[in-house]
Amino acid sequence: MSKRWNKNLVIEEISRLNRERRRINSGFIQIDNPPLYQAGCKHFGSWKASIEASGISYDSVRVLERICPKWGKERILAIIKERHGSGLPLNSNYIQRERAEISMHRQ
């Protein structure tokens, strides 16, 4: 059974995720929790407005603002090669969830 979203439930869920120090930026939530993202946009007009209605500064959750300066192709390739050499996952789902700073800089 799917959750019946309303403004209060959206705010509660965003606040809970934030308290748990989970990522709540737009790109991640669209992948990780589409129903929450869609409900937030439906009830507040945008994901940014949903975050701000929850009492959270939107700039504080924006990944691109927090990560680091733009990564070059060489740096991304070095990380991929390091991960491959260590036997760590390289699939896109893992990278999007666990290493968003890499996937955010795709061309």
- Domain ranges in the chain are 7-66, 73-103
Q: Which residues, other chains included, contact 23 with Cβ-Cβ below 8 Å and sequence gap of 6+?
A: 17, 29, 32, 61, 63, 100
Q: pTM of the entire structure?
A: 0.60
- Confidence (pLDDT) at 106: 45
pLDDT tens, residue by residue, 60-80: 887 654 545 556 677 777 888
Distance separating alpha carbons of residues 51 and 64, to the nearest angstrom: 16
Pair 66, 77: CB distance under 8 Å = no
Backbone angles phi, psi at 26, to 5 degrees: -55, -50
User: What's the rounded Cα separation, in Å, for the pair 37 and 65?
Assistant: 20
- Specify whether the CB–CB gap between 9 and 16 falls below 8 A: no
